[in-house]
Structure 1
Amino acid sequence: MTTAPAPVALLQHRFASALPELTHAARAAEAPQPQLVVLNDALAADLGLDPARLRTPEGLGLLTGTVVPEGATPVAQAYAGHQFGGFARLGDGRALLMGELVDADGRLRDLHLKGSGRTPFARGGDGLAALGPMLREYVVSEAMHALGIPTTRSLAVVATGRGVRREEILPGAVLARIASSHLRVGSVQFARASDDTDLLRRVVDHAIERHHPEVASDPQPHLAFYRAVISAQADLVARWMLVGFVHGVMNTDNMTLSGETIDYGPCAFLDAFDPSTVFSSIDEGGRYAYANQPAAAEWNLARLGEAMLPLLADEQDRAVEIATEALGAFRTEYATAYSTGLRAKLGVLHADPAEADRIGTSVLELLEASHVDHTSFWRHLATAARDDAEPVRGMFLDLAAIDGWLVEWRALSPDAEAMDHLNPLYVARNHLVEEALAAATGGDLAPLGRLLEAVSAPFHERPGLERYAEPAPADFGRYRTFCGT
């Protein structure tokens, strides 16, 4: 392990300094033969990092944690979480917060590494990560960013030259992830479980400073913060639902206080529209199925409210009343965000909301009944708004039903051009992700680069990318994803 100047910018250590109780100093495992697999040049430049220098041995050292910039304080973060409903004290078992950078807009951003080796929170794990899951997070997080959905970003994936033992020996890798912060509901839960009200207050105050500074002057800043997180998560989950994204593991340690999507493990996009879709191999009961995501988010936010009770009122019963009242806004805010988004996807934002909502609800029922590909339907619908309904009609088993629906929808005068700017042509389709990851693991990066090219500009049709807009082949079968540990 060596210490050296940062490739371009110095790392700050605000989280480590402000909340030492939530940190444990740690160092990355050695990377015997580091090799850059993919680098997000535009994001690097936005962070004040020189992409060319990140490709040097010194830069690869930063991206794997094996070269620590002077003055940096790499730490594993402690947090708690309800995992599939069960509470546990957790932490970064295979990850390091290297520190914070200031981006071009003056925003503080975390540089965080996944797969960097064991920490005191590893709970028996090896602390390493395989190349495939790290590339999955890179692809899907960048696809989500291009769709305009708040998300952590991926800066780089570096192969370490170390084998990782899973069911077989796989090539190891480290993902360099960028986030507004890694504060999560589980961070607040950890502080509350420590029975230290001062620590609880400092965690929430740090989150206010990082993410919701506008509430600091509120007469009840902690309540205003809780409401701000509720609003951010209501909007985020509505955006997931509108693009057919299934997170797969919505534990409280995977819900950020910033409102960014985090942890792309068993995640995927819908193929055929089915509200009961579950992709995670470990979600046997469907707790985090597509249709259950709003309820899961509300449940997580209830746990945040419980953790914050000492900050909301001196008397617990009163604090419970305050938290319950605040949480009551989630369903309304989610419903508003989802309804507005659905009407926009239909191209009928100008229409009567009640009528547009009815039209939207009815078409989702038709999509489910005919097992229609979610992404393709919305894109083809803009073609129907231009008086060519055949691509849409060809997706349905019940032609009479879709024809009747199209008559009602066209009566609302949908805006085809607006739909083109909102409904993606390219998403990180599951079969294409698997194809790219398999090829990359075998040393062929061309499919990965092509997939990234498509999903980085999801709304704009380009020659040569036709297969990236097509549904999964019939023989792709039922899709399952794994947590990547």
Structure 2
Amino acid sequence: MSDTSQPDIALDRRFAQEFPELSIPWSAEEAAAPRLIMLNEPLARLLGLDPADLQSPDGVRLLLGNRVPRGATPVAQAYSGHQFGSYSPRLGDGRALLLGELTDAEGQLWDMHLKGSGRTPFARGGADGKAALGPMLREYVISEAMHALGIPTSRSLAVLATGDVVQREKPLPGAVLTRVAASHLRVGSFQYAHATGGSELVRRLADHAVDRHYPGAANADNACLALFASVVSAQAELVAQWMLIGFVHGVMNTDNMAISGESIDYGPCAFVDAFDPAAVYSSIDQSGRYAYQSQPVVAEWNLARLAETLLPLFDDDADEALALAQEALGAFRCEYSAAWVLGMKAKLGLSPDPDDETSTSVANDVVVLLQAQSLDYTSFFRALNHAARGDAEPVREMALDLEALDAWLDRWRDLAPNAEQMDRENPAYIPRNHLVEEALEAATRGDTAPFHQLLEAVTDPYREREGFVRYALPAPASFGPYQTFCGT
């Protein structure tokens, strides 16, 4: 229910109005004893919001969706999805709500979105629609770290305790995440539109996506084809960035791939420690479908599913439409490979010249070296920063096969790597898995100090600081094999 005494915030209801077929008006469950755990004050200011207002009782209720601004229409969004390769025709926001769209001072439009706000008509089975504090804090720290690393991502505005207890393997404190994103349009959104409304609804959704994310496509001879090509390019660049930083999303279903090219829905995600291309962390990924090395292949597969929904809009002739789709999708591998090679050369401080075959060979061979010696991915590249300045001992101390490492180092040093460039590309601090778990366990017990210190490290990841040594170290051997869970 609207309340004129609430903090001043203007939320549009554009998606709710334009796509009643793809949304259900719904309300967040009332929190029993709401309490603000985390507020992203810099992000609040960027959005034109007053952090002091958001910390007030009215502001807390606003962030929970329990106070709805005048004119806003919270909705649960509908979408389909291929989950681990199996098609589910009706998924949707089972425990999430789009509160509305917010325009910042620069004119940029943001979705304001809740996660863990209660069961909706899209909730499946015995799901309670709620979320536990730990997984919501996980998304907060990972998404903000990704933003600090320069990777397109949804962002976390706040985490709020609800005062409820949610039952998982054991009773846990309930929480809601308030996040913002360029939008929450997914490949699965187009799949649902295609299945339920056919080409007319898909065209409307495509026009909406063009207007919101790729306005340049509107001027193309074939706007829908230009939209698809733009999404292909955005995803090629995004997944290359994931691979370069050692990030494993963990659940790359089509309903978790954003049309905007942002990283969204941080569930069983993790970062590679000792380099292993086959790394899988998600407890539900029994076949390794979403392993680290498989992410580019899965992204291309997901994009093919998007193309299937758009085919009738590419051309009236089915064969020509298919040929156009294949050509546009065929650009993914080239664009991904180019982005990865360019990014790896930057990490190594090498020339970006694509015709420099020597630097390209050195960049490709570093992956072979990392795998053969199971080197800690992040530590290795940060140590190379020192090697570029003449001190190779930190990186040599990691070697299992010193002769092989030295041979590669000699080839690399012959190319005169730029140490200052490497400082900007290789973070000292990432959300290392053991530190994330340590911080989440402490926060669940009521101690948020470890979480705050971890957040301070990873949101300024390239600047080494006193007092943060442990945040740059690999996991201790006692940490053992790592497994993550969706938190649903």
Q: TM-score, normalised by structure 2?
A: 0.98
Task: Report % sequence identity.
Answer: 62
1:104 positional shift: 2.6
Distance in structure 2 (CA, Å) of the matches to 1:316 and 1:79 = 25
The DSSP-based 3-state class of the residue aligned with 1:31 is coil
Q: Secondary structure at the match of 1:379?
A: helix
Deviation at residue 99 of structure 1 after TM alignment: 0.3
Amino acid at match of 1:93: G
| Residue of structure 1 in register with 2:473 after alignment | 470
Structure-1 separation of matches of 2:447 and 2:402: 43
Q: In the alignment, does 2:408 pair up with 1:379?
A: no
**Cα deviations by residue, 1:191-223 (Å, 9 ceiling, x for unpaired):** 111142211111111011110011111111000
* 5+ long unaligned stretches in structure 1: none
2-structure distance, mates of 1:435, 1:44: 27
2:421 pairs with 1:418: yes
Q: How many residues align?
A: 485
User: One-letter code of the match for 2:453?
Assistant: R
Helix, strand or coil at the partner of 2:276: coil
Secondary structure, in 3 states, of the residue corresponding to 1:372?
coil
CA–CA separation in structure 2 for the residues paired with 1:363 and 1:11:
48
The equivalent residue for 2:105 is: 104
Contact residue 132 and residue 487 of structure 2 kept, 8 A:
yes
Matches within 5 A, 1:21-60: 21-60=21-60
Cα distance, 1:411 vs. partner? Answer: 0.3
Tell me the residue number matched to 1:435: 438
Amino acid at match of 2:16: A
Q: Describe the SS at the equivalent of 1:27.
A: coil
Equivalent position of 1:317 in the other structure: 319
- Code of the residue aligned with 1:400 in structure 2: it is E
1:204-254, Cα deviation, whole Å (9 max, x unpaired): 110111100111111110000000000000000000000000000000000
Q: For residues 188-207 of structure 1, what are the structure 2 equivalents within 5 Å?
A: 188-207=190-209
Superposition deviation, residue 295 in structure 1: 0.2
Cross-structure match for 1:348: 350
Q: What's the offset of the Cα at 1:365? A: 1.2
Distance, in Å, in 2 between the alignment partners of 1:481 and 1:390 is 34
- Which moved further from structure 2: 149-158 or 41-50? 41-50
SS in 2 for 1:216: helix
CA distance in 1 between counterparts of 2:108 and 2:6 reads: 19
d(CA) in 1 for partners of 2:407 and 2:79? Answer: 52
RMSD of aligned residue pairs (Cα, Å): 1.0
Match runs of 1:17-416 below 5 Å: 17-88=17-88, 89-124=90-125, 125-349=127-351, 353-416=356-419
Deviation at 1:369, TM superposition (A): 1.4
Instruction: Tell me which residue corresponds to 1:446.
Output: 449
CA contact (8 A) 1:92 1:119 kept: yes
Match for 1:86: what amino acid? S
Shift of 1:8: 2.8
- Alpha-carbon distance in 1 for matches of 2:29, 2:40: 23
Deviations along 1:122-175, whole A, 9 cap, x unmatched? Answer: 013100000000000000000000000000000000000000011111000000
Q: 1:476 to 1:4 in 2, by over 3 A?
A: farther
Q: Give the C-alpha shift of residue 347 in structure 1.
A: 0.3
| SS in structure 1 at match of 2:166 | strand
Give me the whole-angstrom Cα distance separating, in 1, the residues matched to 2:141 and 2:326.
38
Is the CA contact 2:348–2:422 (under 8 Å) kept in the aligned structure 1?
Answer: yes
**2-structure distance, mates of 1:480, 1:298:** 26
| SS in structure 1 of the partner of residue 350 of structure 2 | coil
Q: TM-score, normalised by structure 1?
A: 0.99
Q: Return the offset for 1:412.
A: 0.3
Question: SS of the residue aligned with 1:116?
Answer: coil
